[in-house]
Amino acid sequence: MTSSDDRINYLDYAATTPMRNEVLEKMLPYFTQKFGNPSSLYSLAGEARYGVDEAREQVAHVLNSRENEIVFTGSGSESNNTAIKGLASAREVGKGHIVTTSIEHHAVIHPVEQLEKLGYEATYIGVDNTGLVDPEEFASAVRPDTFLASVMLVNNEIG
């Protein structure tokens, strides 16, 4: 999609975004020279591992956390799965409750549905005709055994 002056009007930032020049500049060595598998043992891999470790250290510093608390994933879906299933795995199997909305991204809905098959309970809160969640209804669904309350800030399809 282009405008009358041939500039790109990109409207799919929910799927992917252009890379900032500052990021490209920092990543370019890893795209062109230090592209080894950071989990391997050869020297090129060591350079890549150093970059990953340095990034983890910087993120931990910004978040005021420990480096071993930072997990890099390959996508938002993997991140959601890791968080949701990780929280469940810290509990007795099938014990606990999740509150989410009926319009969450499938990357949230699917792992919650998988957990329901293992015996966990889930409550799905509906939305009004504008896509908004009633905060009072959501809060009233939380129980003493609720270990996850998940609601997206902005819906990927309706805004």
Q: How confident is the model at residue 12 (pLDDT cuts 50, 70, 90)?
A: confident
Which of residues 148 and 15 earns the better pLDDT score? 148
Report the pLDDT value the prediction gives residue 58, as an integer from 0 to 100.
97
Report the pLDDT value the prediction gives residue 121, as an integer from 0 to 100.
98
| Domains, the chain, with CATH or none | 1-72 (no CATH), 76-149 (3.40.640.10)
Backbone angles phi, psi at 156, to 5 degrees: -70, -15
Q: Please give the distance of CA 97 from its chain centroid, rounded to a whole number.
A: 20
Of 83, 99, 89, nearest in space to 150 by CA: 99
Tell me the pLDDT tens digit for each residue of 57-68.
999 999 999 999
Average pLDDT over residues 139-143: 97
Q: How confident is the model at residue 134 (pLDDT cuts 50, 70, 90)?
A: very high
Report the pLDDT value the prediction gives residue 29, as an integer from 0 to 100.
94
* pTM for the predicted model, two decimal places: 0.77
Check pLDDT > 70 for residue 141: yes
CA distance 108 to 77: 8
Check pLDDT > 60 for residue 2: no
